Structure 1
């Protein structure tokens, strides 16, 4: 598989403190890759540099062979990189399908010219994206009454509207019930498999990570200490020390 994202020696310093220190990795096309680590390990800082919200102190980021270091988030988004956030950002006063329609209007650059008749635009296309996340039956429900897990599904549909080749998902299952977490990540895994989208995600739920990620990276104190398969990461003594003080990391089960 070809590389869709390459990160080389990425660093971010705050008054001499290295929040991210020399991180290098790659994400391949069609890969579902997890970035895990304790609180404060540097995961969100790393994500924010990949998407342009933060400027790196040093290092380079390449998307599909093109250097994107220093580009603005909107430019990176236009190139084919999407993102979801820990806290959902839907329009609560709109219906489910209207939220997706607004994302499509933005993607097609028609935001300022068609607002009086926006409710008519791209409705069929929006409905297809809702089908992708199994929310077609809730198309006309107001977002204000949705369960939190459904808001997360809607956010995923919105992120897919510009057909990204790479999707960055920051804590996609945060705040969700255990069953809903598994369902959402299985949905993401299906999208990766069926559409060839690459996904890089951060996550605290280790059952979710080990059940679905093709490969796993571990950050600790801003440094990448492991990058490999679930079995390799589980057996890594340094990772075990970080998480459980030297104990065995996660039970051997169907998550391998």
Structure 2
């Protein structure tokens, strides 16, 4: 079976610093792949190389048979790659439903229809997405007054507006309370499995990672050092060394990634 996402020999340097060093991995259909590692491991750089925010020095990134290297994020999005960010990225001056409408308008290339009747476009579709993420009752609220957890759920609805084949989630539970983290990832897992979406996500909360990831890849100093199902990664001596400084001890839940 052809992977949804294939990353081969990905490398990126910033001056004398090698942030990502010959990293290869794949994401299969319907899989939730977690990318973890200590601070400075290269996770964010690798993530941004996949999403088009950065261009690699070497390597290939493919979505099915589409080469993504060199494409701007908007082109990658239109090929079927959704994205959420560590810091929520929504239009604060718009209402909740208007944010989702904007994503639907862009995804369907109706930007020319923004004036004067954009408010009438894709209302039903936007409300359906909001219902799926538990935000229907807040559809007409301004984003500027939403609680942080609600902004995260809205961002998920926006990311789903283009019916993505692959969803990139950069620390989806960052800044959330423990109960909110559990609820958001339970919701996300339910939606992506229901729709057959593949997910690549970075995350600091190990409870979230081990509860929801199908597989885990571990980066350290820009290199891929471990990969496998959660139980195997937890027991890997190299992973224990990275997180605790001594092999043989279990990776604790809640460790920083």
TM > 0.5 between the two?
A: yes
Q: Distance in 2 between matches of 1:25 and 1:143?
A: 36
**2:167 corresponds to:** 167
**1:151 corresponds to:** 151
**2:239 corresponds to:** 239
Following superposition of structure 1 onto structure 2, how do residues 16-165 of structure 1 map, counting pairs within 5 Å?
Answer: 16-165=16-165
**1:254 corresponds to:** none
CA positional deviation for 1:114: 2.9
The yes-or-no answer on 1:248 pairing with 2:250 is yes
Q: Secondary structure at the residue paired with 2:216?
A: strand
**1:187 corresponds to:** 187
Q: CA RMSD in A?
A: 1.1
Structure 1 stretches of at least 4 aligned residues deviating more than 3 Å after TM superposition: none
Q: Distance in 2 between matches of 1:113 and 1:165?
A: 26
What TM-score do you get using the length of structure 2 for normalisation? 0.95
CA positional deviation for 1:16: 3.0
CA positional deviation for 1:173: 0.5
Unaligned runs of 5+ in 1: 252-256
The yes-or-no answer on 1:200 pairing with 2:203 is no
Q: Secondary structure at the residue paired with 2:113?
A: coil
Q: Secondary structure at the residue paired with 2:117?
A: helix
CA positional deviation for 1:5: 0.5
Q: Distance in 2 between matches of 1:93 and 1:14?
A: 36
Tell me how many residue pairs correspond in the alignment. 251
Single out whichever of 134-143 and 216-225 deviates more from structure 2. 134-143
Q: Distance in 2 between matches of 1:114 and 1:140?
A: 19
CA positional deviation for 1:74: 1.4
Q: Distance in 2 between matches of 1:178 and 1:107?
A: 33
Single out whichever of 105-114 and 190-199 deviates more from structure 2. 105-114
CA positional deviation for 1:91: 1.5
Q: Secondary structure at the residue paired with 1:115?
A: coil
Deviations 1:157-216 (CA, angstroms, capped at 9, x unpaired):
001101110010001110001000011111111012100000100000001101111111
CA positional deviation for 1:112: 3.1
CA positional deviation for 1:66: 2.2
Q: Secondary structure at the residue paired with 2:4?
A: strand
